Amino acid sequence: MNTNNRNGEVRIGFYICHCGHNIAGMVDCPAVAQYIAKIPGVVVSRDYKYMCSDPGQELIQQDIREHQLNRVVVASCSPLLHEHTFRNAVAAGGLNPFFFQMVNIREHDSWVHTDREEATAKAKSLAHAAISRVRFHRALETTRVPIHPDVLVVGGGIAGIHAALTLGNAGKKVFLVERDPSIGGHMAQFDKTFPTLDCAACILTPKMSAVRAHENITLWSYSEIVKVSGYVGNYTVTVKRKPRYVNEELCVGCLECIQSCIYKEGKFPDEFNVGLSKRKPIYIPFPQAVPPVVVIDPERCLQVRTGKCKKTCLEACADRNAIDFTQKEELVEIKVGNIIVATGFKLFDAKRIPQYGYGLYPNVVTAIELERLVNSSGPTAGEIVLRDGRPPKSVGMLLCVGSRDMKTNRWCSRTCCMHSMKLAQLVREHTDADVTVFYMDIRAPGKGYEEFYDKSLKEGIQFVRGRVAEVTDWAMAPEEEGKLVIRVEDTLAGFVRRIPVDMIVLATGMEPQADAQDVRRLFNMSCGTEGWFLEKHPKLAPVSTFTDGVFIAGCCQGPKDIPDSVAQAGAAAAEAMALIDKGHIEQEPNTAYIVEADCSGCKSCIPLCPYTAISFDDAKQKALLNEALCKGCGTCVAACPSGSIRQNLFEDEEIFSEIEGVLAYV
């Protein structure tokens, strides 16, 4: 590979990309090329329609050969998008790929400015800076980091389950960590799923069992991640396994302990039934729970809380000896190469919109509550009833509760239209109630979704277009007495209506998990302003994050329905597998290095390294930098008081020349 400057002479090739109209529409590309051509050392300066296209790349390679270029600068889009493309092109031309510098004149220039003259001037100075800087570039080699083949999947909802199974089926070892006592997530609470109306349990339960039975999957429920360190291919993760006071290996799921608990009746709100039923301190989250073992709620169990209980559960368990009050919280450390975060969402708290009366009027329920009511294993055994036990004669469904709302959440939760129509159909199926859906827009863009909307219309479900103003219990007419009154501007009819109903169902939207910020920090991810985990690229890298080896799937990335969550989970698993099967990743050679002869051994740099890559060599009395541990932040470089630490790709003189270059105003 030609890495030498012929006779030390720098020969730069400069290319400015039109990106069709994207850049050329705002930047005078030929003028920039002419300007750069005059800078000493620039041998070739061209503008071209699409530099990233094959002919564009070929142009660079040809010039390297014909003009003996030893530096290449391309002004086009963001380096985060195409730096690799052009480095590869430079390498294919026979140069070390790091004799290349990219100038961002699209995202940072043509797309954000409106004055052609100004945008062109900016492009010139940015290009000038790159030309100044690239002179200092040196040949660098990428290092290879091996990838640990195991994967951690965080979150045991449908996304996490699917990702774990996909990886497990491919022969990869997976740790699936779930915070709750059972996997299954929100999907396990659903009765049926749209648009096919197949039963959620029927399609989910087999997958949950498969997880438990899978030889490649280690399932840790009732566990949380507390620490993550390392980097792509080499993560060390500490998992906190909370005591469930029941030995998972020994419990056979007979549930006799629950029956024999000194609490004769359930007393505490059952999480799975969203508080619509009561459970005991010892309980199983739901009949199909995986793992199918009981759990003891430490905040409710008399024995755990006070140590004073007859422990009837122990007696019931007898020689199975599964109940173990001595269990302690345990920290387990595992090593994995990739992490898939599928931590899901939380539902909007309907109390935040007091005018809808949730928490005030008993017959205002949320969609998930209705989901449990309609479910045959739910608290009413599938009967949709009002709080007083009567079946409702009329049901109103309010959409966009906590979605598409400037006062609460601005985003569309994407599933509520379909979810509500599904519930509307189920209500029609289970009762003879009239159902009215209050909507702003019906969004049914998935496969078979519009047809589902049609079906809802045909089944006599009424649709009123308008955001509901309020739900009240005061009557203005005899037919309103004893009912909940929905006040809404019917925007199709063009007037304000009062519609009395027996039951109101609020389609609460999705929100990021309450601890999303903590989780994000744990895995070094970014969040959008709304709090959803940020994908690396909205279109081209939808399950990757800015941290290599950390992928996201399901609703933690943004609201989505089951098919989309599953698709993302599969994609995340595939991304992880791509890394695992390659066996290594190439690391950007932007590491810091110490020039030993220059180092005075002042130790200023040592505590600054977040990766403890710098240590003190007692024999040499100088700092020692382990480049394998260095991630290239450059903090030590900036701090070295004698300028003895340098950074590949970000050398002081490169940056100083860049400063000079960007200030070369024209």
Partner 1 sequence: MPDKPKISFYWCSSCGGCEETVVDFAEDILGVLEAVDIVFWPVAMDFKKKHVEAMPDKSIVATLLNGAIRTSEQEEMARLLRRKSQYLIAYGACAQLGGIPSLANQFSRGQLLRYVYEEAPTVVNEAKTRPRTSFQNNGHTVTLPEFRNVVRALNQVVDVDFYIPGCPPTPKITKAAIGALLEGKLPPKGSVLAPDVALCDQCPRKASKPADLGFTQFKRPHQVMLDPNLCLLAQGIVCMGPATRGGCEALCPAGNMPCTGCFGPTSRVRDQGAKILSSLCANIASKDEKEIRDILAGIPDPVGVFYRYGLAGSLLRRKVSLPVEPDQETP
Partner 2 sequence: MKYSYFPGCSLKGLGRAYEESLLPVMRHLGVELVELDDWNCCGATAYMSVDEAKAAVLAARNLAIAEKAGPHDLMTPCAACYLVLNKTKHNITDFPEINAAVQRALGNAKLTYSGNVPVRHPLDALVNDVGLDVIKEKVVRPLKGLKVAPYYGCQIVRPYATFDDAWNPTTMDRLLATVGAEVVPFPLKTKCCGGSLTGTVPEAGLRLTYILLKEAVRRGADVIATACPLCQFNLDAYHSEISRRWGPARIPTVYFTQLMGLAFGLPPEQLGLKRNFVPMKPLQAEPSTV
Partner 3 sequence: MSDPKWQPRIVAFFCNWCTYTAADLAGVSRLKYASNARVIRLMCSGRVDPQFILDALAQGADGVLIGGCHLGDCHYGEGNYKTLRRFQMLKRLLSDMGIEDQRVRLEWISASEGERVKTVINDMVEQVRALGPLNLPQRRQDWDREMAEQHAEPEAAHA
Contacting positions for partner 1 (CB under 8 A): 597-604, 606-608, 616, 621, 635, 638-644, 652, 656
Sites for partner 3 among residues 570-609 (CB under 8 A): 590, 608
What's the closest the beta carbon of residue 364 comes to partner 2, in angstroms? Answer: 11
Judged by CB under 8 A, the residue of 107, 349, 383, 651 near partner 3 is 107
Binder of residue 177, out of partner 2, partner 3, partner 1, none (CB less than 5 to 8 A by kind): none
Under the criterion CB under 8 A, does residue 52 sit at the interface with partner 3?
no
Question: Which helix (H) or strand (E) element contains residue 278?
Answer: strand 278-279
DSSP secondary structure letters along 375-400: STTSTTTT----TTSPPPSEEEEEEE
Beta-carbon neighbour count of residue 204 at 10 Å?
A: 23
Beta-sheet pairing, 364-366 with 462-465: unpaired
- Single residue of 193, 338, 557, 647 touching partner 3 by CB under 8 A: 647
β pairing state of 12-17 and 71-76: parallel
Q: Spell out where 85-231 has E strands.
A: 100-104, 143-146, 151-154, 174-177, 192-193, 198-199, 217-220, 223-231
Q: At closest approach, how far in Å is the CB of 353 from partner 2?
A: 8
- By a kind-dependent CB cut-off of 5 to 8 A, residue 142 interacts, out of partner 2, partner 1, partner 3, none, with none
What does 547 bind: partner 1, partner 2, partner 3, none (CB cut-off 5 to 8 Å by kind)? partner 3
R_g of the chain computed on alpha carbons: 31
Binding footprint of partner 2 on the chain (CB under 8 A): 353-355, 357, 360, 472-474, 476
3-state secondary structure of 459: coil
Contact flag: residue 634 with partner 3 (CB under 8 A): yes
Q: 600 touches which of partner 2, partner 1, partner 3, none (CB within 5 to 8 A by kind)?
A: partner 1
How far from chain centre, in Å, is Cα 487? 38
Q: How far is the CB of 240 from partner 1 (least distance, A)?
A: 25
Residue 355 contact, options partner 1, partner 3, partner 2, none, Cβ 5-8 Å cut-off depending on partner type: partner 2
210 binds, among partner 1, partner 3, partner 2, none (CB under 5 to 8 A by kind): none
User: Which is nearer to partner 2, 27 or 353 (by Cβ)?
Assistant: 353
565 or 657: CB nearest partner 1: 657
Q: Does 202 bind partner 3 (CB under 8 A)?
A: no
* Nearest Cα to Cα of residue 543 among 516, 520, 571, 582: 571
Reply yes or no: is the peptide bond before residue 291 cis, omega within 30 of 0: yes
Q: Is the sign of the CA dihedral 194, 199, 203, 209 positive or negative?
A: positive
Work out whether 108 is an interface residue with partner 3 (CB under 8 A).
yes
b/e code 351-390 from CB counts within 10 Å (16+ = b): eebeebbbeebebbbbbbbbbbbbbeebbbeeebeeeeee
Q: Which is nearer to partner 1, 208 or 599 (by Cβ)?
A: 599
Using CB under 8 A, which residues numbered 385 to 444 contact partner 3?
A: none
Interaction with partner 3 in 521-560: which residues (CB under 8 A)?
521, 524, 526-529, 534, 546-547
Q: Which of residues 64-103 bind partner 3 (CB under 8 A)?
A: 78-80
> Is residue 40 within the footprint of partner 3 (CB under 8 A)?
no
Token pair 């382990």 in the structure block, residue: 626
Q: Report the candidate in 50, 33, 110, 97 with the shortest Cα–Cα distance to residue 71.
A: 97
Name the region of 222 (left: φ>0; alpha: ψ -120 to 50; beta: rest): left
Residue whose entry in the numeric block shows the structure tokens 């300007």: 35
- Please report, in angstroms and rounded to a whole number, the separation of the first and last CA atoms in the chain: 37
The CB-of-334 to partner 1 minimum distance in angstroms stands at 29
Nearest CA to 472 out of 462, 460, 464, 480 is that of: 480
Pairing of strands 645-647, 592-594: antiparallel
CB nearer partner 1, residue 203 or residue 655: 655
Interaction partner, residue 610 (partner 2, partner 1, partner 3, none; CB < 5-8 Å by kind): partner 3
Name which of 331 and 602 has its Cβ closer to partner 1.
602
Residue 547: left (phi > 0), alpha (psi -120 to 50), or beta?
A: beta
**Of the candidates 477, 462, 360, 390, which has an alpha carbon nearest to the alpha carbon of residue 420?**
462
Helix (H) or strand (E) holding 582: helix 562-582
Position among 114, 306, 447, 478 found at the interface with partner 3 (CB under 8 A) = 114
At closest approach, how far in Å is the CB of 636 from partner 1?
A: 9
DSSP β-ladder status, 484-490 and 468-472? antiparallel
Q: How far is the CB of 54 from partner 3 (least distance, A)?
A: 24
Contacts (CB under 8 A) with partner 3, residues 117-136? 118-119, 121-122, 125-126, 129
**Cα angle vertex 653, ends 651, 657, to 5°?**
120
CB of residue 531 vs partner 2: minimum separation in angstroms?
A: 22
Minimum gap (Å) between residue 584 Cβ and partner 3: 22
The CB-of-557 to partner 3 minimum distance in angstroms stands at 12
**Site for partner 3 contains 631 (CB under 8 A):** yes
For partner 3 (CB under 8 A), the number of binding residues is 52
> Is residue 17 within the footprint of partner 3 (CB under 8 A)?
no
Q: Which is nearer to partner 1, 390 or 603 (CB)?
A: 603
Residue with tokens 């960590």: 177
Which burial class, exposed, middle or buried, applies to 565 when counting CB atoms under 10 A from its CB (0-12, 13-18, 19+)?
A: buried
Q: Binder to partner 3 among 1, 226, 578, 659 (CB under 8 A)? A: 659
354 touches, from partner 2, partner 3, partner 1, none (C-beta below 5 to 8 Å by class): partner 2
CB of 357 to partner 2, least distance (A): 7
User: How far apart are CB 595 and partner 1 at their closest, in Å?
Assistant: 8
Q: How many other C-beta atoms lie within 10 A of the C-beta of residue 607?
A: 10
Nearer to partner 1, 163 or 605 (CB): 605
Q: Residue 492 CB: number of other CB atoms within 10 A?
A: 8
Q: Considering CB distances under 5 to 8 angstroms, the limit depending on partner class, which of partner 2, partner 1, partner 3, none binds residue 601? A: partner 1
Residues contributing to the site for partner 3 (CB under 8 A): 78-80, 104, 106-109, 111-115, 118-119, 121-122, 125-126, 129, 520-521, 524, 526-529, 534, 546-547, 590, 608, 610, 631-635, 637-639, 647, 650, 652, 655-656, 658-660, 662-663, 665
